[in-house]
C-alpha cells in the first residue's frame, strides 16, 4: 500500500512514521508513506498557501491551487501503478466518522492520498472537486488535519496484510468483531492480592475461548450496548446476554 500525505507541517510526521508499526511496515516494504509539503506547489515569491475568506470573517482559508497541483503530481507519478481510482481523502471535522469498519475499507485500497487542512479549513472547491471522501476522527475540532491523518494511517496500516507480526493480531481487537475485546492478563498470576482468572491458567483452549467470548459480550453490553445491535451474534450469544 502507498499513502501520500499532503500537509504544511511535514515535520510533525517524522517521529511517528519512524516508530513501531509504521517503521516496521515501511522497512518490510508492506507500506510506503510519503509526506509532501504542498507549499512546494506554489509559484509566487512568498509561497502563499492561504488567503482571506470571501465574505469576510476570522481566519484564513487554504487556497485550492497548491492542493490540486500536488494531487495531480502524485497521480501523474503513480499513473499505471493501480487500476482503481485513488481515494483522495480530506481530513475534516465535517466528514464521515472514522471507525474500524472505515479503516478496514481503506486497508483494501492500494493507494490513498490524505489531505490535511489547517487554519479555517480549505476552499470548498477542494471539497467538491478534488476530494473523493471526507473523514472526521471525532466530533471536535483540531487545529490541523495532521493528527487526524496519523490516526487514520495508523489504524489502516496495521490492517495491511503482513504488517502485524504473528505475535500481534487485529482479529480479536475491539470493533473488529463488532464487540469490545475481552480482558487481557499477563504474569504475575497474582499481584497485590489480585489474581488472574483461574480459567486463563487452565491450558484448556476451548474453555478459554468460551470465557473470552462471554467477557467480550458482557463488557460490550456494559460499556457500549449500542454495538450489540450491529454485532454478528450467535443464538448462544443471545441466550447468554438475555440472562444478564
Ligand atoms: N472551520 C472548520 C470547521 O468549523 O469545520 C474547522 C477547521 S480546523 C481548525 C482545521 C483543519 O483541521 C481542518 O481543515 C481539518 O483538516 C482538520 N480537522 C479539524 N478537526 C478535525 C476532525 N475532527 N477530524 C479530522 N480533521 C480535522
- For ligand 1, say whether the CB of 140 is within 6 Å of any of its atoms: yes
Pairwise CA distance, residues 59 & 67, whole Å: 19
Is 154 annotated as catalytic?
no
CA 67 from chain centre, in angstroms, equals 22
Active-site residue (options: 4, 66, 158, 213): 158
Q: Where are the beta strands (DSSP E) in the chain?
A: 2-7, 32-37, 50-51, 61-62, 88-97, 111-116, 133-136, 190-191, 194-195
- The pTM assigned to this predicted structure is 0.95
Domains present along the chain, CATH in parentheses: 2-157 (3.40.1280.10), 177-242 (1.10.1270.20)
Task: Give pLDDT, residue 58.
Answer: 94
User: 155-201: per-residue pLDDT in tens?
Assistant: 999 999 999 876 557 888 999 889 999 999 999 999 999 999 999 99
- Cell, residue 207: 474453555
The separation between the first and the last C-alpha atoms of the chain, rounded to the nearest angstrom, is: 44
User: 69-86: per-residue pLDDT in tens?
Assistant: 999 999 999 987 766 899
Task: Give pLDDT, residue 166.
Answer: 65
User: 36-54: per-residue pLDDT in tens?
Assistant: 999 999 999 999 999 999 9
Active-site residue (options: 53, 64, 87, 93): 93
Task: Give pLDDT, residue 172.
Answer: 82
Amino acid at each position: 500500500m502507498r499513502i501520500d500525505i499532503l500537509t504544511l507541517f511535514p515535520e510533525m510526521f517524522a517521529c511517528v512514521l519512524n516508530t513501531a508499526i509504521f517503521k516496521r511496515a515501511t522497512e518490510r516494504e508492506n507500506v510506503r508513506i510519503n509526506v509532501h509539503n504542498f507549499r512546494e506547489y506554489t509559484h509566487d515569491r512568498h509561497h502563499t498557501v492561504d488567503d482571506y475568506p470571501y465574505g469576510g470573517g476570522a481566519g484564513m482559508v487554504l487556497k485550492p491551487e497548491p492542493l490540486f497541483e500536488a494531487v495531480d503530481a502524485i497521480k501523474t507519478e503513480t499513473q499505471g501503478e493501480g487500476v482503481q481510482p485513488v481515494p483522495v481523502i480530506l481530513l475534516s471535522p465535517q466528514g464521515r466518522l472514522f471507525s474500524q469498519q472505515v479503516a478496514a475499507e481503506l486497508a483494501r485500497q492500494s493507494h490513498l492520498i490524505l489531505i490535511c487542512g489547517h487554519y479555517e479549513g480549505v476552499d470548498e472547491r477542494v471539497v467538491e472537486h478534488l476530494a473523493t471522501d471526507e473523514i472526521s476522527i471525532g466530533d471536535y475540532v483540531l487545529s490541523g488535519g495532521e493528527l487526524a491523518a496519523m490516526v487514520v494511517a495508523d489504524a489502516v496500516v496495521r490492517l495491511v496484510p503482513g504488517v502485524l507480526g504473528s505475535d500481534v493480531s487485529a482479529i480479536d481487537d475491539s470493533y473488529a468483531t463488532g464487540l469490545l475485546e475481552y480482558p487481557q492478563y499477563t504474569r504475575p498470576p497474582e499481584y497485590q492480592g489480585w489474581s488472574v482468572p483461574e480459567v486463563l491458567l487452565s491450558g484448556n483452549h476451548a474453555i478459554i475461548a468460551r470465557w473470552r467470548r462471554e467477557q467480550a459480550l458482557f463488557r460490550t453490553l456494559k460499556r457500549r450496548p449500542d454495538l450489540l445491535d450491529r454485532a454478528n451474534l450467535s443464538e448462544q450469544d443471545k441466550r447468554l446476554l438475555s440472562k444478564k
